Amino acid sequence: MSGPPPDFTLEEAARLTAGAEMWASAALPHQGVPALHMADGPMGMASVRVDERDVALLMPCGTALAASWDVDLAGRIGALVASECTRLGRQAVLGPNLNLPRSPLAGRAFETYSEDPLLSGEIGAAWIGGVQAGGVSAVAKHVVGNDSETQRHRMNSVMDVRTLREVYLRPFERAARAGVGGMLMAYNRLNGVPCAEQTQVIRLLRNELHFTGVLMSDWFGVQNGAKSLQAGLDLEMPGPGRQMGEHAAQLARSGEVSEARVQAAARSVAAWATAWQTPVPAAQDAAELLTEAAAASFVLLKNDRGVLPLAPQRPLAVIGPNAATPCYQGATFARIALSDDVQTPLSALEQRFAVEHEVGVEPEYRLPPLPALPITAATGEPGLTVTYHAGGPDRPAVFSEVRRTSTLVWFAQDMPAGLSTHQGATVRARTTLTPERGGRYTLYYGGTGDVTLRVDGVEWGHQPSPVVGGDVMGHLLRGEATSVHLQLEAGVPVQLEYEMTYRPARAQGLWFGARPPAQPDLMRRAEALAARSAQVVLVVGETADSGVESRDRTTTRLPDRQLQLIERVCAANPQTVVVVNAAHAVDTSWAAQAAAVLQVWFPGQAFGPALAEVLSGIREPGGRLPVTFAAQEADYPAFDLTPDEHADLHYQEGVLIGYRSLAAQGVAPAYPLGHGLGYATFYYGDVQLASGPDGEVTLTVPVTNTSARRGKAVVQAYVAQPAFEDVPAHPALAGFTALEVPAGATQHARVTLTRDALRRWSEAAGGWVEPAERRSLQVGTSLADIFWQGTLPR
């Protein structure tokens, strides 16, 4: 298709500056400009209806992908995401998330890659390359400083220019060089200016980093259309526009925005939309790739006495809540609906071992999923009957459907005919619960409107319409609920009805859940099983609502009941292997009690098969830590993410994020950046350095696999950054490579360090400088396991 004309009429140009609907840009067919259809990401292609009906493939989370330290693998996962988008008719995906987990409490830490900007940028760029090679545009997010979720619409990230340039913009700089199709501006303010109006950052992206793609807002993220357009924003999402779009024509006529700026924004959107209309078919074995990627992310933190791999011919005790109820992903609008045939870790382990299972403790959901209990819709199917009533609860239903979910979310275009989120209406969800055991049940309910809970036709609870404020999307995801207690008898059905009457809003949601009565002997039974078993795997971790968009965590500790379970099971059997299903830096003060600890993050839908193959020794645990695990929470340079009374969040640690701060202070972590054990062993030879024509330095090191099995080595190079302008000396990752080495073989690892690894931002000079000091270089398998030290050539 030929490109658009150089100019549009003002009305045409204005129309292109906002989306046409929730997930599509506007089209001008007579001008040859098609609509571009988007989907949320980055762990796959999320449902545009934000519900359980649109099943898609779930990839490893960002932290898991970065834990592989494997750019080739990241590219292949990106290509699989592109094929999913193509399958479902989407030409752009919102990802990767290039923000940094500044604090381990960050609610969306699982989407991000690493605390190190170089590792984040390289893995992100590879993912972008894979997506865009598949004919789908990536949209890097969220520019910039959206590194936490608390008060994300009000929060002001306060950082100096050096911190911005050396740390938080570096991954986006790498994305720009990778030719990413779009970038998405964050909700928060940066140094007092909303990111959608951040002229300084946008000019830097355009003029210095030479980013030529589209700049778009986060959903409902434009506060002032005139200021955003003037700053350089091209596209307001979603549509129809509230601040831009057709309103941009009037802004131009009144002189608040130049017509030239509106035309420039329209040309940017038109070029983007026309460039990504030709998908590239990809033939991949998705199941094999997802299993490979999951196993490549698993970090073996410790393996005393070689307890791993396990012996498949011997019985295995599988204990813990996350074995049968794993956490595959966090709670964002980008969550993926999984196929019913996805294997849990428990079911996959049962295929390779003779398994005996005890849960030990129940999963600790904030909103326990109602469909986990035996519920039946009016049709006899599992689930709830949901009816929609225009005009009020006494009006006939205009639509009815059966749903299997605990959360109903809908936007304007998702409403059945005759309904609108912008008009008052009533939604009812009804189901029959037949308890498998008697006792006290806790029922939860909440929503964006007036919610009433009825049991067998009798009102049991009522929650009035909440005051949502500006962050409607965040309110939907937080799922704040009211609860009541109900005594039920085993086998005796009860009718549950959740009714919500809502007022006009751009999005609506109704949610509900149920917690069955506690079983007091679960931990005792788990302890007894561990004591009589030769092999024990204990799978602990988070629930899907532990990591939440719009909410940060309060601690890195596992839940207290899980910590008790670890203590009692490990005391009963000191050979216990603890598997941690959490996608952020976790408190591991309990780790000495276990024989082995395996950190598995949120590894995607192949969690079960990958875990079974790693534990049985078929695959290596290929991961290395992309984030530092501190020995205690007080050691993290940034921890509390609560803005002050002015909504300011000060980045007081500056460039000393994560491992840099601990090293600068001489504080030993529990497990350092880059740490991870495998089943193979290696010998590393002498490092050779060679200078290139553009000032880059390439290091080469022979890596010999000294074991009887194939294994993975990750070679990491750290430059010693000298003290500079009040920032103390500290190490910085300057390059890395991952390679698979056959048993007994030798391969050469090559790592290239560019001049970017040596330059520093000078506040005094107002630009990049390269300090004159000679730099020392450390090469190793983690920041704490260095096998070579030397000096970089000038």
Cα dist from 106 to 99, 166, 638, 789, whole Å: 11, 21, 10, 35
Q: What is the Cα–Cα distance from 684 to 704, expressed in whole angstroms?
A: 6
Burial 278-287 (b: 16+ CB within 10 A, else e): ebeebeeeee
d(CA 236, CA 244): 6
Q: How many CA atoms lie within 13 A of 444 on its CB side?
A: 20
Residue 776, beta-bridge partner list: 791
Phi, psi of 451 (to 5 degrees): -115, 130
Ranges assigned E (strand) in 547-625: 577-581, 596-599
User: How is residue 19 written in tokens?
Assistant: 């989306």
For residue 536, the Cα-to-chain-centroid distance in whole angstroms is: 30
Give 467: exposed, middle or buried? Use CB within 10 Å, 0-12, 13-18, 19+.
exposed
Tokens of 331: 């709670």
By the 8 A CB rule, do 310 and 606 touch?
no
Structure token pair of residue 657? 């994020």
Other Cβ atoms closer than 10 A to 420: 14
Catalytic pick from 218, 545, 552, 587? 218
User: What DSSP letter does each residue of 281-329 carry, written as one string?
Assistant: -----HHHHHHHHHHHH-EEEEEGGG--S--TTS-EEEESHHHHS----
Cβ atoms of 405 and 440 within 8 Å: the answer is no
Q: Collect all residues with Cβ–Cβ distance below 8 Å to 65 and sequence separation of at least 6.
A: 59, 73, 74, 77, 113, 123, 127, 293, 297
Task: Give the integer Cα–Cα distance in Å for 119 and 100.
Answer: 11
Burial of 362 (0-12, 13-18, 19+ CB in 10 A): middle
Region of 479 on the Ramachandran plot (φ > 0 left; ψ -120 to 50 alpha; else beta)? left
Cis peptide preceding 194, ω within 30 of 0: no
DSSP, res 634: G
CA distance 143 to 121: 13
* Residue for token pair 């004309």: 5
The single-letter DSSP state of residue 277 is: -
Q: Where are the alpha helices (DSSP H) in 164-254?
A: 170-177, 199-203, 225-231, 247-253
Q: Please, are residues 58 and 244 in contact by the beta-carbon 8 Å criterion?
A: no
Please state, in angstroms and rounded to a whole number, the distance separating the CA atoms of residues 38 and 94: 7
Q: Rounded CA gap, 700 and 717, in Å?
A: 11
Question: 602: closest CA among 44, 40, 39, 38?
Answer: 44
Sign of the torsion formed by the C-alpha atoms of 138, 139, 144 and 145: negative
Separation of alpha carbons 483 and 460, rounded Å: 10
Under 8 Å between Cβ of 334 and 42 = yes
For residue 336, CA distances in Å to 43, 44, 98, 674 come to 8, 7, 20, 29
Nearest to 621 by CA among 298, 288, 293, 290: 298
Q: Is 218 a catalytic residue?
A: yes
Query: How far apart (Å, rounded) are the C-alpha atoms in residues 599 and 374?
Result: 33
- Tell me the catalytic residues: 218
